[in-house]
Amino acid sequence: MGKKDLEKQDIGKTILEELTGGEPKEKRQKRGIWKILQIPALAILTGLIIGAVLIMATSFDVYDAFKVSLWKGLGTAFAEVGEAYLALITGSLGNPVEIVQALLYGDALDFRNAINPILESLVQSTPYIFAGLACALGFRAGLFNIGVEGQLFIGAAAATFVGYSLTGLPPYIHMPLAFLAGALGGALWGMVPGLLKATTGGHEVINCIMMNYIAYRFTTFLLTGPMSRPGTGGMPVSPIIEKSAQIPQFFKTPIRFHLGFFIALAFAALVWWVLFKTTLGLNLRTVGTNPRAAKYAGMNIIATTIIGMAASGALAGMAGANEVLAVNRSMAIGLSAGYGFDSIALALLGNSHPVGVIFAALLFGVLKNGATKMMVVSTIPIDIVTILQAVILIFVAAPAIIRSVYRLKQPKVEAAAIMLSGWGGVK
Amino acid sequence: MAATSTSIQRVRISDISPARKISTGVVEVLVALFIFAVFARTVSAGSITTFVMTPGGITTGQMGNWVIPSQLTLYLLAALSLVIGLFQLIRGFGKITNLMVGLVFLFFIFSFLTWQAADKSLNLAGMLSSAVQLAVPITMGSFSGILCERSGVVNIAIEGMMLMSAMVGALMGSLTHSAWLGLFFGVLSAVLLAALHAVLSIKYKIDQIISGTVINMFSAGMTAFLSQKFLQTRQELNNPAMFTRIEIPGLAEIPLIGPILFNTNFFVYLMFALLIILQVALFSTRWGLRVRSVGEHPKAADTLGINVIRTRYMSVLLGGMVAGMAGAFFTLGSVGRFEEGMTAGKGFIGLAAMIFGNYTPIGALGAGILFGFADSLGSKLSLLGSAIPSTLMSTAPYVITMIVLAGFVGKGHVPAADGVPYTKE
């Protein structure tokens, strides 16, 4: 049903391309680093410009200043945007003056405080790396895992439960155990839409979204009922996890930089290896790009779909486990700040490649950390980040818009756009 | 020509696979056994269930309370479900299979209520009334989906369009002190988002599900941003004029139906008006035939001189309009103020209702009321002091959506070119 285009594709050629790793070598070398980066970079720039317009347009001070005179109005508008974006940058990357001073005087504490904004941005990036990898893995397998949010909640709940209920274990057992429990929780939650897609053809997008709502309400039930912290009077918050289950932080408490960041990088490497160097990865990618070809090549589409969703869910669960074990040390219902939607943006921005996802996650971590600081100095709600992400995403998904705005030339070889299946289910 | 295409469609609906015939029958028999074993056997023999048949606070169309013996009713419902299930297994219901599934589902719900309210009193009319109210955004959301998808454009951005319209409706309804102007601007904002979706998916041909997700994201961010910036800091901006209850003289006096359907919110009437308009427009007019042919076989439609691109733009914009009406219901018809994320997935549930209702407006209405009823269950039962926590009960509409998708997607009639961009050769 539908997708006549896929039928037309030469199946043998597709498999050959998959086996040799995409396009022929000489073509790949011609695409320089700028060619790869120009669309995301211009998309981000355009996003920031649109964000600036939004900040100007929703400020009463700007309107008041425009009543005085045009120049005063423009001045106030640019001053507001300047102040906001400056707070965004110093809040997320640190104040260069402070860093230089701390370096000159050689005070270790000052130095740590000066670079704390950068470290905090890395802390904020960590769940983004996991969540982005989850979505990227899904895209590679032709699955739109919009259920990262729910998988993250279930993963976090599982990790929390293992984290506080088991006592007396040595850290080198308890911590990995709690982390893996989180991965398992996410994997099980992610497997359900995969299973439904593979067996009944129910589209994973709606099922994932429904699972998100169920996960949210289910964890609310857990946190107010069986997993609630005694003595909090019905607040949805879990007991504090055992010391032995905590992922260690490197410095003393205001600085939260922790080992989880490096665990995330390690998993990015693992995802890269699995996707591009193993048979499983080849199966996943072939099912993702051309299920018909995969079928004729004798691949088990049902198993691959379920494994793809489970693996994606596991990574999402790790994002939740990481937040509980390394940062919050207990689970509250406000755990996720919309990582579910953000993960889609991350995967698209990073072209569904683990390395791309890491850079996109760093960018988002910086944006989010900075926006929190921006909210303190100005009255701009943190949701501006979501708007920025959506705008950036539109331009990354439709590069033709960016090309026409900036008068760029149409490339000869267009990278394959992501295409997901419609409601019809398994083709 | 319209007649031929409907008959073709009928054949397709009645074409139910043997595996599904059996599995549906098995499920129906299992429901019967469940009613018998779990509900009927745990109720004491002398229990009486009282259903109040007039919604609270309404004086028209009053009806006496309905007092029934709990256990006898449960045995009866179990027997009826069993008969339907066995008939399904042996003969099969053909094209009314979905209807029978819905009926067994209704029996199940009614049994559950009888069981929960044994020796107590439950306002059934109030529940039905709130089910109709809760069905409004879901049903209108699925109308929006039908318009888009019949023309071959998948639209999962209905949720975002509804949220945006709810926010803009509240804001403009407060500024202008007019519910009608609030509705107008709310619908306008949703149409603008629909235009974005149309341009991204028809002109730039980006994946329609990604385009929809982006719009949902944008909408969630934008409404939260504007709400925090204006609506939460200045309460007078979040206090819109609302559509009030309209009583239809005469009809409102009919017992039970009167108070629920004819002495109710403007949006309920709007929903029924749209139902009739859409049903007629899609299946009995030249325009409807064109829309459907573009969704089924755009190339053939193009060859016959139908402008595929323009038809699709038109359908998506109209879909955005309907989604905007659905969104305005939240702030102008129901709650009276905007809260962040208040649509709570109703747009997505609307898509499930669309699929369950087989891409027809009348089916979507039935499915929408079903989902609305599931939604109203949670709140009513927590009032009864049910043993099931309300947080778990509130997952019911989402669980049912998944079950419906698992059982029905791909088996009914999905427009053949749904989600496929059209390139003129």
Tell me: the pLDDT tens digits for B29-61?
Answer: 888 888 888 888 888 777 888 887 777 766 666
Selected residue with higher pLDDT from A401 and B98: A401
CB contact under 8 A, B406 and A389: no
- Smallest CA-to-CA distance from A156 within A127, A129, A132, A193 is with A127
Q: Is the pLDDT of residue B139 over 90?
A: yes
pLDDT over 60 at A20, yes or no: no
Question: How many other C-beta atoms can be found within 10 angstroms of the C-beta atom of residue A170?
Answer: 8
What is the dotted CATH code of the domain comprising A121-363?
1.10.3470
pLDDT over 60 (residue A217): yes
Q: Which domains does chain B have, with CATH numbers?
A: 1-119 (no CATH), 126-386 (1.10.3470)
What's the gap in Å between the CA of A328 and the closest CA on chain B? 24
Judged by CB atoms closer than 8 Å, whether chains meet at B210 and A348 is answered as yes
pLDDT over 70 percentage in chain A: 88
In this predicted structure, what is the pLDDT of residue B120?
Answer: 78
Alpha carbon distance B185, B191 (integer Å):
10
Q: Which two tokens stand for residue B290?
A: 């064109």
Angle between helical axes of A70-93 and A108-140 (0-180°, round to 10): 90
**pLDDT on residue A9:** 47
Q: Which pLDDT belongs to residue A411?
A: 63
Work out the average pLDDT over A81-97.
83
A263 pLDDT band (50/70/90 cuts)?
very high
Do B157 and B193 form a contact (C-beta atoms < 8 A)? Answer: yes
Residue A333 near chain B (CB below 8 Å): no
Burial class (CB in 10 A: 0-12, 13-18, 19+), A112: middle
Q: A258 pairs with which residues across the strands?
A: A249
- Contact check, Cβ <8 Å, A207/B418: no
**What does pLDDT average to over chain A?**
82
Please tell me the predicted confidence (pLDDT) of residue B413: 65
pLDDT of residue A27: 47
Neighbouring residues of A58: CB distance < 8 A, sequence distance ≥ 6: B225, B226, B229, B230
Residue B152 clears pLDDT 90, i.e. is over it: no
- How many residues comprise chain A? 427
3-state secondary structure of A86: helix
Please check the confidence at residue B3 and state whether its pLDDT lies above 50: no
Nearest to B402 among A207, A385, A386 (CB): A207
In A6-65, the residues whose Cβ lies within 8 Å of chain B are 54, 58
Query: What is the structure's pLDDT at B422?
Result: 81
pLDDT in tens, A330-363: 888 877 767 877 888 888 888 889 998 999 899 8
Give the nearest partner residue to A423 out of B215, B348, B409, using CB atoms. B409
Question: Confidence band (pLDDT; 50, 70, 90) for A418?
Answer: low
Q: Which pLDDT score is estimated for B320?
A: 94
Burial of B382 (0-12, 13-18, 19+ CB in 10 A): middle
For helices A108-140 and A301-322, what crossing angle results, to 10°? 160
Q: Is the pLDDT of residue B15 over 70?
A: no
* Per-residue pLDDT at A152: 94
Nearest CA in chain B to A379: B229
- Please provide the DSSP assignment of A101-115 as one string: HHHHHT-HHHHHHHH
Q: How many CA atoms lie within 13 A of B292 on its CB side?
A: 22
| pLDDT surpasses 50 at A4 | no
User: What single-letter amino acid sits at A287?
Assistant: V
**What percent of chain A clears pLDDT 90, i.e. is strictly above it?**
24
Say if A89 is an interface residue toward chain B (CB within 8 Å).
no
Contact B204 A401 (CB under 8 A): yes
DSSP-assigned states of every residue in A233-286: TT-SBPPPPPGGGSPPBSS-TT---BTHHHHHHHHHHHHHHHHHHSHHHHHHHH
Average pLDDT over residues B200-209: 84
**Contact yes or no for B217 and A345 at CB 8 A:** yes
- A97 interfacial to chain B (CB closer than 8 Å): no
**Least confidently predicted of A274-288, B16-30, B269-283:** B16-30
Note whether B48 and B31 are within 8 A (CB): no
Q: Measuring CA to CA, which residue among A122, A121, A191, A125 is closest to residue A155? A: A191
**Domain boundaries, given as residue ranges, for chain A:** 121-363
- Name the band, by pLDDT with cuts 50, 70 and 90, for residue B6: very low
Token reading at A341: 């939607």
| B residues 94-153 lying closer than 8 A (beta carbon) to A | 149
Q: Would you say B290 and B311 are in contact if contact means Cβ atoms under 8 Å apart?
A: yes
Q: What is the pLDDT of residue B196?
A: 92
Amino acid at A26: E
Would you say A11 and A296 are in contact if contact means Cβ atoms under 8 Å apart?
Answer: yes
With beta carbons under 8 A apart, name residues in chain B contacting A390.
214-215, 217-218, 221
Q: Do B214 and A393 touch (CB under 8 A)?
A: yes
Q: What residues of chain B, 220 to 279, have a C-beta less than 8 Å from chain A?
A: 220-222, 224-226, 228-230
Rounded CA-CA distance B219/A163 in Å is 37
Above 80 in pLDDT, residue B7? no
Angle, CA B99 vertex, CA B93 and CA B100 arms, to 5°: 55
| Residue range A155-162: mean pLDDT, rounded | 94
Is pLDDT at B174 greater than 70 in this prediction?
A: yes
How far from B278 is each of A104, A237, B142, B270, B284, CA to CA, in Å? 74, 48, 12, 12, 10
Q: Is the pLDDT of residue B65 over 50?
A: yes
The answer to whether the CB of A251 falls within 8 A of the CB of A245 is no
Residues 6+ apart with CB under 8 A from A405: A42, A46
Residue A425, pLDDT above cutoff 70: no
Spatial separation of the C-alpha atoms in residues B155 and B313, rounded to whole Å: 12
pLDDT in tens, B338-389: 888 888 888 888 888 888 788 889 989 988 888 888 778 766 766 666 667 7
The pLDDT tens digits for A125-152 are 999 999 999 999 998 988 888 889 999 9
Residue B269 has pLDDT above 80, yes or no: yes
Q: Do the strands B48-52 and B245-247 form a parallel or antiparallel pair, or are they unpaired?
A: unpaired
Residue A171's H or E segment, with its range, is: helix A171-200
Task: Examine the pLDDT at B92 and tell me if it is beyond 80.
Answer: no
pLDDT of A189-205, one tens digit each? 999 999 988 887 777 87
CB contact under 8 A, B206 and A420: no
Overall average pLDDT of the A252-273 stretch: 90
Tokens of A209: 């979204």
- pLDDT of residue A414 exceeding 60, the answer is no
SS3 content of chain B, % helix, strand, coil (to 5): 70, 5, 25
Note the pLDDT of residue B22.
Answer: 80
The residue type of A137 is L
Per residue in B296-348, pLDDT (tens digit) is: 888 888 888 888 889 999 999 999 999 999 999 999 888 888 888 888 888 88
Task: Output B380 or B81, whichever has higher pLDDT.
Answer: B81
CA-CA-CA-CA torsion sign (A173, A175, A176, A177): positive
Phi-psi region of A229 (alpha: psi -120 to 50; beta: other; left: phi over 0): beta
**Mean pLDDT of the region B84-98:** 81
pLDDT given at position B1: 35
Do strands B263-265 and B245-247 pair parallel, antiparallel, or not at all (unpaired)?
antiparallel
Beta bridge partners of B49: B68, B118
Task: Output the pLDDT for position A427.
Answer: 32
